[in-house]
Chain A
Amino acid sequence: MAAHSETVTAPTALRRRERRQLAVSRFLANRLLTFGAVILLVVVLLAAIAPVATPYGPLQIDPVNRLKGPSWQHLFGTDNFGRDVFTRAVYGLRISVAVGFAVTAIASLIGMIVGLLSACYSVLDAIFMRICDGLFAFPSILLAISIMAALGPHPGNVVIALSIIFIPSVARIIRSKALVVRELTYIEALHAQGASSWRIIWIHMAPNALSPLIIQSTYIFAVSILTEASLSFLGAGIPSPSPSLGNMLYDGKAVIYNAWWMTVFPGSFLLLVVLGLNLFGDGLRDVLDPRASRMKGGRRRGNKTSP
């Protein structure tokens, strides 16, 4: 070992430095990821223990203690009906997370099916992609508002409206990846072996086309929570008196000068969960696709110089 050490000093030192640089960059990337993950863990815990964490119910009215500031009895104060703001915020968070999760799952599933089918059948491609272009043309909240106006305010309808908004973007991402996968040799080999197109699409192409969706889904999660809150704030989402972070902020608006806690606490819950998801998504992108930022410059340069 000692005899060798002299001859390999320079390379190991170099390698060590390289490794340290790698570790540092990984750490930096992971810092976003871990920070985001910690926030999300707190959020999920809060949402999970909501019913046990507070002695109050989200709809429990206490007319005597209206608009009381934060105290030991009511950590986040009470609202204009004397309801406990902490309880309502935690239940609202629960709804936000549930809606976000449902939207992400539904949009991913349907978007994946649409994207794979469009990548494989040119007729379907023409139809689906025109529909996606059309849906893409809408400013997203406006489309959601219109759908909600038609369907009526209800949590299930929020999920439907938001899923419709996100399906086109998932479909496009999956489609472009599937177009690449389709041309790979092993798909050709499967064709030659006589595998059915059903088998090729759903068993062999689907898992390989999914990777870009992993990062995208955290953003869909975040944006759908934001949009749900906006819809509820506008009175087109989850109807009062059910607690939702959005409609709590709307209630807080009316008494904003007397009861800051009705705005600040539900607001920080909302900010916390969206921030957690965005940090997590950025971290995930750095870890899963470390070359993304470096590749971008090269790719764009290649595009521009081509005639």
Chain B
Amino acid sequence: MGGYVVRRLLSLVPVLLVVAIVVFSIIHLTPGDPAAILLGEEANKAEIDDMKSKMGLDKPIYEQFGIWIWGVLSGNLGQSIFLHKPVTEAFFERLGPTLSLTVIAQAIGVALALLLGITAAKRRGTAIDQSVMSFSMLGISIPSFLLGSLLVMLFGVKLRCLPVAGYQPLSAGLWPHLKYLILPGIVLGVIQAALIARMTRSSILDVLSENFMKTAKAKGVKEKTIIYTHALRVSFIPILTVIGESFGGLVTGAAVIETLFNIPGVGQLIVNSISRRDYSVIQGSVLLVTVAYVFINLIVDLLYGLVDPRIRLSKK
């Protein structure tokens, strides 16, 4: 297992290098001079040159990359020009709401998906199965901000029992904290559930048709035990994969949902930085989120070994 972990970690090096190069080149994709765009049209040449050297844009590009990557490795992602603070500080200030939202959404998503997927697989071909599949089709097709807007209408106008915008930190108490995150959490969770439920259903159906399931049935194992212990465990690998991948969807969904529900998270930070042309914040945040996403997928990969001993043995 140890060798496997090391090999997987090493395979991340080229991936992270490409990620770093792409993130670094964002600022150089800008048509024209980023320093001039940042300062606006009234800026004179001296000011632009000054800004250029402040941003390090006057050096040759390989040197800029070297300086930038050295900074990244030592934990310095640059300075936000608009917020007047280090990018890392701005990012970690905003991380809390996004983490809370992600955890809530993922919990809702996985719980709903397993429930729906297992029920659909058990009642294959019935009306229940078909409605679960239609639900998941709708969930895959609906954009998160549309579902969010519809829920805001429903709760803001008709029910009025949950706040439809804003955020309270956890330090303000658990219920005030949760209250603001329930609606956005439901929106993201339902969309996640649509994806995961599909996968759960089909992978459980695959397992149910295997011979050892017949053996278990012939031995007189209860149906509940068959589904929840035998089938679910074997079919967990594809489900885990989807859950791992869905974290990426959650993070990107968070960018949209945080904007819609006015939650001061990382997604909102990135979106707000676009119009401010605060490139270092965009670069830094996108880099940090992507690295986190890469490592989440690594952890999911390693979990395969825990769920399925055969993988653990064969990868030795």
Contacts and interface: CB of A to CB of B under 8 A. Distances in A.
Contacts of B27: 150
Contact of A149 (B31, B255, B259, B282): B282
B107 interface: no
A259 to B, nearest CB: 10
Interface in B90-120: none
A22 to B, nearest CB: 17
B30 to A, nearest CB: 5
B289 interface: yes
Interface in A197-242: 222, 226, 229-230, 233-236
> Chain B CB within 10 Å — which of A130, A133, A279 has the most?
A133
Contact of B19 (A138, A260, A297, A304): A138
Contacts of A282: 137
Nearest to B21: A134
Nearest to B259: A234
A234 B255 contact: yes
Nearest to B148: A253
Interface string A100-136: 0000000000000000000000000000001101110
Contacts of B286: 138, 142-143, 145-146
Contact of A274 (B143, B209, B248): B143
Contacts of A133: 14-15, 18
B153 A263 contact: yes
Nearest to B138: A275
A266 to B, nearest CB: 9
Given A142-B290, A249-B145, A275-B138, A149 B26 contact: yes
Nearest to B234: A304
Contacts of B306: none
A256 to B, nearest CB: 6
B162 interface: no
B138 A134 contact: no
Interface stretch (B52-60, B169-177, B182-190, B273-281): B273-281
Contacts of A134: 14-19, 21-22
Contacts of B128: none
A269 to B, nearest CB: 10
Contacts of B14: 130, 133-134
Interface residues of A, number: 53
A234 B274 CA distance: 9
A144 to B, nearest CB: 9
Nearest to A282: B137
A139 B270 CA distance: 13
A116 B165 CA distance: 49
Interface in B225-282: 248-249, 251-253, 255-256, 259-260, 270-271, 273-275, 277, 279, 282
Given A235-B271, A256-B152, A278-B140, A141 B255 contact: yes
Main secondary structure of the interface of B (DSSP, over half): helix
B152 A222 contact: no
A267 B271 CA distance: 21
Contact of A140 (B252, B256, B294): B252
B275 A235 contact: yes
B146 to A, nearest CB: 4
Nearest to A300: B206
Nearest to A160: B29
Contacts of B69: none
B21 to A, nearest CB: 7
B168 interface: no
A137 interface: yes
B274 A145 contact: yes
Nearest to B146: A267
B137 A279 contact: yes
Contacts of B138: 271, 275
B293 A249 contact: no
Nearest to B211: A301
B305 interface: no
B15 to A, nearest CB: 5
A71 to B, nearest CB: 20
B149 A142 contact: no
Contacts of A307: 314
25 contacts: A131-B18, A133-B14, A133-B15, A137-B290, A146-B26, A146-B282, A149-B26, A149-B282, A150-B27, A230-B256, A233-B143, A233-B145, A233-B256, A233-B259, A236-B271, A249-B145, A253-B145, A253-B260, A256-B149, A256-B156, A263-B149, A267-B150, A274-B143, A279-B137, A297-B210
Interface of A: 130-131, 133-135, 137-143, 145-152, 222, 226, 229-230, 233-236, 246, 249, 252-253, 256-257, 260, 263-264, 267, 270-271, 274-275, 278-279, 282, 293, 296-297, 300-301, 304, 306-307
